[in-house]
Chains A and B, each alone.
Chain A
Amino acid sequence: NAGVTQTPKFQVLKTGQSMTLQCAQDMNHNSMYWYRQDPGMGLRLIYYSASEGTTDKGEVPNGYNVSRLNKREFSLRLESAAPSQTSVYFCASRPEMGQVLEKLFFGSGTQLSVL
């Protein structure tokens, strides 16, 4: 099934631990995004990638790194997790505007808790 696959769905970390959230899409999209969602804060952009090999900071990049490994995959890494990074994380991708189905495709989200 075409779409955005995001793993894991749930994760509990201890402060200082590291982990990588994986995201892959099979729709040949150039643009991919990582957001975090916190109550009352909406979706805040962490990093995005307009094309393979490029990444840009969003609104809240501190404490995160990303890799656009190829056109399909865009991973988000927490090098040293902090309780402030407890959140729901969403990966998304989209086709170029003007194409059919020009909308964001979202992964199912990762519930991350940092203790």
Chain B
Amino acid sequence: AQTVTQSQPEMSVQEAETVTLSCTYDTSESDYYLFWYKQPPSRQMILVIRQEAYKQQNATENRFSVNFQKAAKSFSLKISDSQLGDAAMYFCAILGTASKLTFGTGTRLQVTL
């Protein structure tokens, strides 16, 4: 079985500041992928960043970066220079080799002026 835990139901950050969203997971597999998805009020699901478990280097996409700690099964998302448009629900997810894709319960991010 694979599980994803997001322990922060809500987070708040001031515009231009940096925020880190936490995610831990559990899996018995050695080969898997990890994702962060953003869901704005429109309900659209937008891929933010992905990480292959076999890669030691942390993924980076512009202002978004991850801290992937494989031994600790931790996959946190750092958003730098936060913008008002970053306000949304953020979901962490894991994809195993059997194609099962499991999401966490989400973190609602508020961005304040």
Are A41 and B99 interface neighbours, CB within 8 A? Answer: no
Query: A residues within 8 A CB of B104?
Result: 42
Q: Inside 8 A of A35's CB, which chain B residues have their CB?
A: 103
CB contacts (< 8 Å) of B44 on chain A: these are 106, 108
**In the complex, how many angstroms separate the beta carbon of A101 from the nearest chain B beta carbon?**
9
Q: On chain B, which size bracket covers the interface? A: 20 to 34
Nearest CB of chain B from residue A98's CB, rounded to whole Å: 9
Q: How far, in angstroms, from A58 to B2 measured CA to CA in the complex?
A: 11
Determine if A74 is an interface residue (Cβ-Cβ < 8 Å): no
Known pairs A43-B91, A102-B50; A33 contacts B101 (CB<8 A): yes
Judged by a CB distance under 8 angstroms, whether A75 is at the interface is no
A40 adjacent to chain B (CB < 8 Å): yes
* B100 surroundings in chain A (CB, below 8 A): 45, 48, 56, 58
Q: Which residue of A lies closest to B101 (CB)?
A: A33
A74 and B8 CA atoms in complex are apart in Å by: 33
Interface string of B96-113 (1 = CB under 8 A from A): 001111111110000000
**B55 on the interface (CB 8 Å rule)?**
no
Task: Please indicate the chain A residues that have their CB under 8 angstroms from the CB of B19 in the complex.
Answer: none
Interface size of A by CB at 8 A reads: 26
Query: Do A103 and B50 touch (CB < 8 A)?
Result: yes
Contact present for A106 and B45 (CB under 8 Å): yes
Q: Which residues of chain B are near A33, meaning CB under 8 Å? A: 101
A97's partner among B33, B47, B91 (CB-CB below 8 A) is: B33
Please tell me which one of the listed residues B35, B47, B102 contacts residue A59 in the complex, with CB atoms under 8 A apart.
B102
Nearest CB in chain B: distance from A76 CB, A: 16
Q: Which residue on B lies nearest to A30, using beta carbons? A: B99
Q: Does B59 sit at the interface, judged by CB under 8 A?
A: no
A-B contact pairs, 11 of them (CB 8 A): A31-B101, A42-B106, A45-B103, A50-B99, A56-B98, A92-B101, A94-B101, A97-B52, A102-B50, A106-B44, A106-B45
